[in-house]
């Protein structure tokens, strides 16, 4: 199981779907307190980048995952805009951006209905809703969205260039695309070419691998405690791998630069 989690993104597509469904179902059934609302590796910085990010007490436990969203997409420019997040998972990032940056509407889309049902029941922020959908076939009209957000999701899509083209299609002229994911060094040129071919203009890009490692280091004890509380013992190692805790192969891959983590800002 541990190896499957590690190599998940490289497995053939027909195997990935049922496995991901199984994984989602396990997270839902283990998360009795309904507190697992993020599925990303987080972001931390030692240069005061988040000095002014004053979180509400109930959000503090998720600070590093929230900081990843804040780094990738947090901006006053979201105010009164129509935002779409593709691959929103259990909605923690959508809820954070909707509550702190007040877009007019924020739609979280995910391929897992179980996840979007959970989100629609769990969150009650103004303008925030969740729909089941596929990243490669976005159910929106051309030029209808101001900003698209995509965090730690695209690497498992069957056809990433199709996803980038779909994002470009649904964005309004001058619309923004905020994108972040882990990417192997050998794949980075291809991803950059695919983004350029879709038509995006690059505003900013940064390899945030060190920030991700820093967050995982700071968050390891908390992540382990939550896994030990909710997950049966025989699955601990697989969940440690999924959560990237210190000592896991995933952590080591980030730490030793076998995987990078890039964040991008584009305009249409
Ligand atoms: C690692 S989780 C990250 C979730 C969230 N962005 C976060 O940071 O907490 C990746 C999410 O992408 C979703 N996903 C995978 N393939 C998808 C697709 N083709 N279309 C839409 N969502 C997809 C998964 O169901 C999962 O919820």
Which pLDDT tens digits describe the chain residue by residue (268 residues)?
666 666 666 666 666 676 777 777 777 777 666 678 999 999 999 888 888 899 999 999 999 999 999 999 999 999 999 999 999 999 999 999 999 999 999 999 999 998 999 999 999 898 999 999 999 999 999 999 999 999 999 998 999 999 999 999 999 999 999 999 999 999 999 999 999 999 999 999 999 999 999 999 999 999 999 889 888 888 888 888 889 999 999 999 999 999 999 999 999 9
For residues 221 and 225, what is the distance between their CA atoms, to the nearest angstrom?
Answer: 6
Q: Which residue out of 24, 153, 216 has the highest number of ligand 1 atoms within 8 Å of its CB and is therefore the one to mutate? A: 153
| Cβ partners under 8 Å of residue 136, min gap 6 | 157, 158, 159, 162, 163, 166
DSSP string spanning 17-54? HHHHHHHHHHHHHH-TT------S-----SSSTTTT--
- What distance in angstroms lies between residue 153's CA and the mean position of ligand 1's atoms? 4
How would you label 76-86 residue by residue, b for 16+ Cβ within 10 Å and e otherwise?
Answer: eebeebbbbbb
Half-sphere exposure of 248 (CA within 13 A, CB side): 26
Residue 145: alpha-carbon gap to chain centroid = 19
Pairing of strands 128-132, 260-267: unpaired
Ligand 1 closest atom vs CA 157: 19
Q: For the chain, which domains are there?
A: 2-49+58-267 (3.40.50.150)
Prediction pTM value: 0.94
Q: Is the dihedral of CA 144, 78, 40, 222 positive or negative?
A: negative
Output the ligand 1 site: residues, CB below 6 A.
20, 38-40, 86-89, 92-93, 110-112, 115, 134-135, 151-153, 156-157
Select from 209, 205, 211, 217 the least CA-distant residue to 244: 217
Please give the pLDDT value at position 226.
87
Contact 49, 74 (CB under 8 A): no
Token pair, residue 114, equals: 């179980």
Closest Cα to atom 16 of ligand 1: 157
Please give the pLDDT value at position 11.
66
For residues 205 and 196, what is the distance between their CA atoms, to the nearest angstrom?
Answer: 13
- What distance in angstroms lies between residue 88's CA and the mean position of ligand 1's atoms? 6
Select from 146, 20, 3 the least CA-distant residue to 87: 20
- What distance in angstroms lies between residue 261's CA and the mean position of ligand 1's atoms? 16
Helix axis angle for 63-73 and 92-101, nearest 10°, is: 60
């Amino acid at each position: 199981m541990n190896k499957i989690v590690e190599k998940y993104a490289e497995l053939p597509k027909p195997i990935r779907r049922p496995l991901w469904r199984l994984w989602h179902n396990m997270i839902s059934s283990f998360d009795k307190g309904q507190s697992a609302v993020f599925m990303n590796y987080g972001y931390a910085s030692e240069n005061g980048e988040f000095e002014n990010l004053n979180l509400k007490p109930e959000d503090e436990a998720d600070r590093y995952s929230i900081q990843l969203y804040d780094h990738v997409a947090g901006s006053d420019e979201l105010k009164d805009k129509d935002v779409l997040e593709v691959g929103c998972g259990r909605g923690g990032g959508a809820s954070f951006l909707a509550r702190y940056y007040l877009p007019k509407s924020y739609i979280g889309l995910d391929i897992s209905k179980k996840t979007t049902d959970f989100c629609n029941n769990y969150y009650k922020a103004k303008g925030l809703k969740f729909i089941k959908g596929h990243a490669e076939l976005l159910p929106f009209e051309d030029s209808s969205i101001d900003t698209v957000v995509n965090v730690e999701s695209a690497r498992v899509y069957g056809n990433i260039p199709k996803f980038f083209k779909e994002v470009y299609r649904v964005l309004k002229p001058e619309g923004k695309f905020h994108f972040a994911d882990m990417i192997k060094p050998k794949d980075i040129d291809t991803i950059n070419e695919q983004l350029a071919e879709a038509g995006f203009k690059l505003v900013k890009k940064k390899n945030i691998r060190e920030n991700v490692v820093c967050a995982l280091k700071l968050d390891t004890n908390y992540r382990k405690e939550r896994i030990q509380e909710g997950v049966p013992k025989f699955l601990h190692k697989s969940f440690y791998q999924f959560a990237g805790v210190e000592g896991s192969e995933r952590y080591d891959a980030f730490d030793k630069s076998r995987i990078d983590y890039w964040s991008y800002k584009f305009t249409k």
